[in-house]
Amino acid sequence: MQPSILKGTHGAAHESARGHVQGTAEYVDDRPREARELTVGLIWSPHAHARILSIDVSRVQKWADRLWIFDYKALAHNTWGSIFQDQCFLAQDVVHFVGEVVLVVAAEDPAILSAALKAIRIEYEVLPAILSIEEAVAQQSFIGVERTIARGDWQKGLETAPHRLQGRVPIDGADHFYLENQAAIAYPRDGGILEIHSSTQHPTEVQHLVAEALGLPQKDVVCTVKRLGGGFGGKETQAALFAVFAAMVAKVCQRPARLVLDKDTDMMITGKRNPFQVHYDIAFRDDGEIVALDALLYSDGGACADLSTAIMERALTHVDNAYFLPAVRIRGQVCRTHIHPHTAFRGFGGPKGVALIEQAIEAIAHHLRLDPYDVRLRNVYRHPHRNTTPYGQVVEGDALPVLFETLAERCEYKARRQQLLESADPKSPWLRGISMTAVKFGISFITRFLNQGNALVILHQDGTFQVSTGAVEMGQGVQTKIGSLVAAEFGVDPDQVRVMPTQTDKNANTSATAASSGTDLNGSAALVACRPLKERLSKVFAALIDLDPELWPTRTIGPGTQADMVWDKPLAYPVVFEGGRVYAAGHPERFLSLVDVIREAYFNRVSLSEYGFYKVDGLDFNKVTGQGNAFLYYSQGTACSEVIVNRFTGEVKVLRSDILMDLGRPINYDLEMGQIRGAFVQGLGWVTSEQLVYDGQGRLLTHAPSTYKIPSVHDIPRDFRAELLETDNPRTLHRGKAVGEPPLLLSFSVWTAIMNAIKVSSLPIPASRERILRALYPDTFAKWEKAR
């Protein structure tokens, strides 16, 4: 049977689309200022590692009645961390990275605040600093323990296979570059409640950390999130820090407090995607089939753990990517340095593991003089005997070979590759390359307890709905998709469903909107809540349909003759909710309007609200043994990219990219396609142009759009095509698959196409212009450096 391509059907418009166009969509700093509101600023360390000797505030005494200064003593609890509590909210005696906050300053007048931040003097004694993975490894400066995933006799495989290669890939970090910077406003409310509005992906963590830091019970802190202007993982943990600072000022001063970072400060002091150094030792046969792999991954966690150990775990579980590895050892260790603590970023650790195996496959193909596509297809997961991951989870279905072969045919990969080989002109300044890569991305939090969600669904008497969940809208359309799921469940137009701002007093103890699981967890919880509501309304319908309308509760309440209907009998037939109507299956002509059924239910004292809870079953991954089912399912895809590279400048232009993904039954085709294209372009920036540059003292130099190059319209593939394979996913209640992170990893097709163009088997990430030129002319660069 030929695989079919899903034909696009338009879904509901993004819930914020109109507001974005009109400029009315509200973000944290758009909230009107309240009377007596304070503006908050930060004083942070200019040194990577130093002892605080003295703090001089004498120059700001003239503003004593209009200025407030806080150090760590203002907090009831000064350490925090999502996994290990190893980070200070406010530095105590020693600073551990450039950007570590030492003082929080608040003022009524922003001009006074600005002057005060410049006038306060802190004296430091600079201490030795570890500023690279290599230095950390040499000094055994680590966070957590080394993790291992292994199976088979990898050592024997390495020693006995016909071919063996070793390689190392430096992978730099990247900045999240969300458009809305870190922001928080705290309001002291009646009765001692602190109301926090934060640009965070994790409202529950903000609530809990504010309470802990200020010595408050969690019941006295409410966190509200309406929407984010981007997050990409950068606001999963680190937004809590700034919410704590604003809340501290608000609690002490009993006045509203607003803290909004400017772009330079945000980039300087917040963590990035973890830099990695990955090493591989791989053995293979003459046809490119992999026999064994020994992989070692080091990451730079920065000064504190943040989420780096969890990021490493995901990296280890994605080293296989789309390929069966019969004998393998994969080890990972997080390094502690004196750089800002790194954090989650779209893809978490998955891209680092995938980069390792895709790089190794390029090296195999280069060594054997084979087409890398053929090597990938040779090793791709297949049923029934080559379908188990190194950690023991079965890769269900057989989508990966289909994705490879279907896309290769649709984009004419073989013909285009042959044409590039035949038309190569040694005199042309432009080198052409083409490559196809894949992604198999696990969907679930590896930390099991995070795989839960809850939702509150309320039906109103006019037939409209309010839905509250723990999901945070950060541009990806999660609220739109959840609203569409509820609308489809009741057969109404999506415009009749309002998904409310995320609030911890409605949805408590929720997980971060991360790991591509926002819709899976929260949308499924909403569906769980919908189903008992539908069951109750179905019984009300059954009681009403054969009852004289004059005897309905709304008709009898006036004369005072109302009696309870007999509505709770078992249903004798299934009931359909469709088009705003309710009817018995097979008899659409005998219907009642949904509004009538809801209204009669209310007057008959039938509950019109429901709380739903959902948890992911079947996850049993053991982090110690490195074995078990880590994920509920996999989102999969392939991409083919064609590039040209200027041999004299290193400039890269992406001529064409084709993407084919398996996303089950998408909830909203337009939103899914937007996520695919956006993730791919974000990944393209990471693998080509977005280079973080630090000076020799641990200070970030590329901390503004002028020095840090995110993709522009000129970097997007000139010919950009994306399609979905028509499949089904029985693993989720809504039959779809997650899309947020997986497409980012398909940007490796650009990275490997550059290697194909310049005929090398290895490139660092990002493959910047300078690095491309170094790969093209290694002897020239070696001579220049020797002559320095």
CB 391 within 8 A of CB 318: no
Q: Buried b / exposed e across 152-183, counting CB within 10 Å, b at 16+?
A: bebeebbeebeebeebebebbbbbbbbebbbb
CA distances to 284, 370, 444, 496 from 440, in Å: 22, 23, 13, 36
Strand pairing category for 452-459 and 652-662: unpaired
**Angle of helix 413-423 versus helix 399-410 axis, rounded to 10:** 50
Q: Determine the 3-state secondary structure of 21 from DSSP.
A: helix
CB 685 within 8 A of CB 621: no
Query: Is 672 one of the annotated active-site residues of the chain?
Result: no
**Catalytic option among 159, 741, 770, 785:** 741
- Count Cβ atoms within 10 A of the Cβ of residue 545 and give its class: 0-12 exposed, 13-18 middle, 19 or more buried: middle
- Count Cβ atoms within 10 A of the Cβ of residue 669 and give its class: 0-12 exposed, 13-18 middle, 19 or more buried: middle
Cα 620 to Cα 636: distance, rounded to the nearest angstrom: 22
CA distances to 187, 198, 256, 554, 767 from 35, in Å: 11, 20, 8, 47, 51
Q: What are the two backbone dihedrals, phi and then psi, of residue 661, each rounded to the nearest 5 degrees?
A: -125, 150
Cα 382 to Cα 397: distance, rounded to the nearest angstrom: 8
User: With left for phi above 0 and alpha for psi between -120 and 50, is residue 735 left, alpha or beta?
Assistant: left
Q: Please list the residues that pair with 438 across neighbouring strands.
A: 638
CA dihedral 278, 133, 331, 745 (to 10 degrees): -40
Q: Determine the 3-state secondary structure of 776 from DSSP.
A: helix
Q: Which residue has the tokens 């209310």?
A: 602
Q: Determine the 3-state secondary structure of 631 from DSSP.
A: coil
- Count Cβ atoms within 10 A of the Cβ of residue 713 and give its class: 0-12 exposed, 13-18 middle, 19 or more buried: exposed
Residue 718, amino acid = R
DSSP state of 237: S
User: Which residues are known catalytic residues?
Assistant: 741
